[in-house]
Amino acid sequence: MTEQAGAYYKYLVLGEFILSFLCNIFSIFNCSIILIYFYKVFRKKEWRPKVSAFFFALLVNYLLAALFLLPYDIFVLANWRPYASFRNGPMLFWVSVMGHCLIATNPLSVFFLTLDRI
């Protein structure tokens, strides 16, 4: 990698973390709106839409993953520098471990939702 390409790479990583932060905010907002809507609809006794419990589990899983990844994104964005610097590895690990564990369970929720739809 040339010296000039290495300089652009650092800003590409910054852009990736900014995009991740914005997508997490968007996911939190959308999942919260959907869950609040269904909560209000299910409180009414006269009409209940057919919504799978697996769909709710998937929404909650996405919401929790986005919530637990926000501290990681904030930590990385707050400590980002354009030059090579020492990063606190254990802190990065412990801030992100719960969010990444929840991301790993998303395919399981999608699998059960798929089986429910068959």
- For 23-75, the pLDDT digits (tens) are 999 999 999 999 898 888 777 766 666 777 888 888 999 999 999 999 999 98
3-state helix, strand, coil in the chain (%, to 5): 80, 0, 20
Residues 6+ apart with CB under 8 A from 91: 75
pLDDT for residue 11: 85
> What pTM value is reported for the model?
0.78
Round to whole Å and give the CA distance between 113 and 118.
9
User: Residue 54 to residues 51, 93, 112, 117: CA-CA distances in angstroms?
Assistant: 8, 30, 7, 10
pLDDT score of 16 more than 80: yes
